[in-house]
Amino acid sequence: MAADLFKTDPAFRALVDRASQRVGRDLEQLCQAGPQRELARTQYLQPLLVCVALGYLRHLTGAGLTPAMVLGHSLGEIAALAASGIVGFETAVDMAAKRGELMEAVAMEAAGGMIAVTGPDREALLRLQARSFPAAQLVLANDNAPNQLVFSGATTVLDQWAGLVAAEKLGHCRRLAVAGPWHSPLMAPAREQFSLWLETIEFQAPRVPLVFNVTGSTENNPQGIRELVARSLVEPVRWRQAMASLLALPEVSFFEIGPGRVLSGLARANGFGEKTRIFNINNLRGLEMAARVC
């Protein structure tokens, strides 16, 4: 991950150095040499992923490609805050480090996780959830697409849920490789502490519109933005709603910045067809290709 940035980009390495100082671990060494189990720890992975996204973003905008609108899925919203001008790059890295620290601490006490369900009848899934579990025991964490929902809860509850979905033939279940029950009430202690910490951060009005996870819509008031960022730890990512707001635009090109292609797939699942151009910016070569096309 980000091998080309580590080799060629001093500004990126400075961001990673800052993140390393915040978490007390050499994140460059961890990213390039592992071990994988340490790299996957929330307190290390979150600031590192934000560094990577911002590293490629800086090259994208340096090539003259500036966004008309930005959004980020879950942790990606922290990088999106910087892309929109609400906070600076360094502040976004600090936020990711604090967020990861608090989330990992809570996850160590709450034995839980997340499970994705892909199926054609979302309403039937939600009815099954509502009648099978108390409101806070199993919660919708990511409303990703019409055919994909992600649920959070305790490990035993997720096992029960997978069995029910299979018995009712309502879809395919897949446990996600995450360390805790993100975007659920179980993360309330992290949300409370993160909210207090965010009061020390100066937020600006966005220079570029940002579609927020919690509402699936934009927000311009800095204090309102601060509250939305904290709420996202315990409330669902409303990605389907965010995508729906973009479907109304006459023409859209997407640039997915960071490792992987998950959001590109979700764009297609939310109705953006083959005529919509989607560029995956996860290395400098892909960025150069996108710049030539655009």
What secondary structure does DSSP assign to 197-232, as a single string? HHTTS-----SS-BB-TTTSSB---HHHHHHHHHHT
Of 287, 238, 251, residue with least CA distance to 58: 287
Note whether 138 and 144 are within 8 A (CB): no
Residues 6+ apart with CB under 8 A from 115: 150, 151, 158, 161, 162, 173, 174, 175, 176
Q: How far apart are CA 4 and CA 284, in angstroms?
A: 7
Q: How far apart are CA 70 and CA 60, in angstroms?
A: 13
Cβ count within 10 A of residue 49: 23
DSSP assigned state of 139: E
Residue holding tokens 């060629």?
8
Of 181, 26, 23, residue with least CA distance to 99: 23
In the set 20, 73, 84, 183, the catalytic residue is 183
132 is catalytic: no
74 is catalytic: yes
Distances from the Cα of 41 to the Cα of 71, 98, 271, angstroms: 24, 13, 34
Residue holding tokens 């202690």?
189
In the set 20, 74, 84, 184, the catalytic residue is 74
Q: How far out from the chain centre does Cα 84 lie?
A: 15
Active site residues: 74, 183
